[in-house]
Amino acid sequence: MKKSPILIIGKNGKTGARVNQRLQALGYSTHAVSRSTTPTFDWENPATWAPAIKGASSAYVTYQPDLAVPNAEAIIKEFVRVAAEAGLKHIVMLSGRGEEGAQRAEKILMDSGISWNIVRCSWFSQNFSESFMLDGILAGELLLPAGDTVEPFVDVDDIADVVVTTLTQPGHRNKLYELTGPRALNFSQCIKEISDALGQPVKYTYVPVNEYIGVLREQGVPEDLQWLLHELFTVVFDGRNCNVMSGVEEVLGRPATDFKTYVQKTIASGVWDAVFQKESA
């Protein structure tokens, strides 16, 4: 099994990079692709798909920006067809909780005849340190159009561990796992835990969604990402995903990583050090 490379679509993504590193550490051959690799893989260019898949028997698939966006369903349908023709036998696909578009894409994979796993995740804890919320924390104030709705943020390291297990252990095949952290927190509570752990003032401020999207537009954020964030904050983020789920423990046999542990790991990494520099300036 280790001789056939495992395809990783999204080489530089938060989960893809971690999955690639873990598989290689375990002795598996990997073929991690993105728009900047050779061969290239571009979701917007179907001609790149088959050359990237060639030689692989299993794959980890992350769709950018998200399976919830309107065109994702059609693209995943075509990708699964190409994958089957190219000989892929097993696909592990990253998905999101509470997203109707994502669930339609999931069903395409489930009905494809290819062995599958769906890893359906809550919001990533790492969005506070490796994504669009980082700049706000470094500035000392995070502005978002999210009120008191709670979310059981999941650690991306847990996601990567689950993905590696489902890729390499056949006993998990054809199962959907819903991954969350062990506690549900609202954004204000998350920022307070970050601020308390840092020992530096960081605050959370609510802004109306249209004002927030307007700022993104001014910053030149791509339209599909604007649409996604609007959808998340106005439709998906309505409390439907507040329940803690047991997917991490089901696959790994250990509890999911707590948000406090994520905060301590991130402080140790130095990603938030600019908060200290700002305070001492």
Whether the predicted pLDDT of 1 surpasses 60: no
- Cβ neighbours around 33 below 10 Å, total: 25
Domain ranges of the chain: 6-185+239-280
**If you ran DSSP here, which 8-state letter would residue 236 be given?**
I
Whether the predicted pLDDT of 274 surpasses 90: no
Q: What is the pLDDT of residues 4-47, one digit of tens each?
A: 899 999 999 999 999 999 999 999 999 999 999 999 999 999 99
Three-state SS for 137?
helix
User: Is the distance from CB of 51 to CB of 83 less than 8 angstroms?
Assistant: no
Q: What is the pLDDT of residues 168-199, one digit of tens each?
A: 999 999 999 999 999 999 999 999 999 999 99
- Name the pLDDT band for 281 (thresholds 50, 70, 90): very low
Report the mean per-residue pLDDT for the chain.
95
% of the chain at pLDDT higher than 90: 89
The amino acid sitting at 219 is Q
Nearest to 181 by CA among 172, 190, 192, 194: 190
Q: Sign of dihedral through CA atoms 121, 14, 185, 133? A: negative
User: Is the distance from CB of 179 to CB of 165 less than 8 angstroms?
Assistant: no
Query: What is d(CA 200, CA 189) in angstroms, rounded to the nearest whole number?
Result: 15
Q: How many CA atoms lie within 13 A of 145 on its CB side?
A: 20
Query: What is d(CA 43, CA 76) in angstroms, rounded to the nearest whole number?
Result: 9
Structure tokens, 194: 């970050």
Predicted TM-score (pTM) of this structure: 0.95
Q: Give the domain 6-185+239-280 fold.
A: Rossmann fold (3.40.50)
User: Is the distance from CB of 140 to CB of 203 less than 8 angstroms?
Assistant: yes
Q: At what angle do helices 223-231 and 209-218 cross, to 10 degrees?
A: 160
